[in-house]
Amino acid sequence: MLDSSKPTLATELNAAWANQSALQVLESALVRFGEDKLAFVSSFGAESAVLLSLAARINPTLKIIFIETGFHFDETQRYAEQLIDRLGLTQVVRASVDPITRKRIDPDQRLHRVNPDLCCHIRKVDVLHRSLKGLNAWVSGQKRYQNDTRAHVEVVEFDPERDCFKINPIAHWTAQRIEAYFKRHSLPRHPLIASGYSSIGCWPCTSPINAGESIRDGRWRGQTKTECGLHRRVMPLHGTML
């Protein structure tokens, strides 16, 4: 049902909602797209608690998709349990690559060493793609300040590959504002922050950052790769990447 009116609608909604508060954007989106046709996507990483807290304040039964790559830190798993419990979230769906596809493409679980793009693709991008089937919109916690790629993120976008609207209610938030929200709402921190991690993904491809580095510099360290691919146009699984 992809039609040319959807990108136009995204532009219109973005113009209308861009100056609203994150809670207002979410409430409008729930009305516009339907509670059961919208899902939050969270990595339960360094700053994820903010978006999850916003969701819980509206309705803790909203659907949250947690992409389970099989390579999360134990700390992330414990943190996820802690946040789910603390915020009272009741519909956290752990989505992961189907085992047969995983074995076909990454039989010895070492793909991350030789082709991290393809590893992200099968474990995250393709999984999100499948999880969003039948939904109208997904909500992400991207912020413009995080890196150059994210500097132009809009509050409402249209994701043509998944035929789905994408809502970024805290796109314009700064690091200070995130920090303040954590404090005001007494949200627990991801345990790895204390060890110098500022952006947290899978353990093979995440490292702590040094003083002076940007917050996502610890991801795919030593490679030109900066994003897993969830937030850009997806490539077909059996296309050129294979």
**Catalytic positions, please?**
228
Residue 114 within binding range of another protein, rule CB under 8 A: no
d(CA 58, CA 114): 42
Alpha-carbon gap, residue 190 to 36, rounded angstroms: 29
Placement of tokens 């996507």 in the chain: 41
**Which residue, 188 or 236, is less far from another protein as judged by CB?**
236
Among 110, 189, 221, 233, binds another protein (CB under 8 A): 110
Instruction: Find the part of the chain contacting another protein (CB under 8 A) among 102-110, 116-124, 188-196, 218-226.
Output: 102-110
In the complex, what is the shortest distance from the CB of residue 41 to another protein, in angstroms, rounded to a whole number? 15
Q: Can residue 98 be called a binding residue for another protein (CB under 8 A)?
A: yes
| Among 85, 87, 20, 92, residue whose Cα is nearest residue 58 | 87
Q: How far is CA 123 from CA 59, 67, 147, 202, in A?
A: 28, 8, 23, 10
Kindly state whether residue 36 participates in binding another protein, applying the rule CB under 8 A. Answer: no
Binding track over 124-143 against another protein, x by CB under 8 A: ------x-------------
Q: Contact 144/150 with Cβ under 8 angstroms?
A: yes
* Interface region with another protein, contact rule CB under 8 A, candidates 56-64, 84-92, 103-111, 164-172: 103-111
Q: Does 223 bind another protein (CB under 8 A)?
A: no
From the list 193, 197, 198, 205, the residue with the least C-alpha distance to 71 is: 205
> Which residues of this protein are in contact with another protein, per CB under 8 A?
93, 95, 98-101, 103-104, 108-110, 130
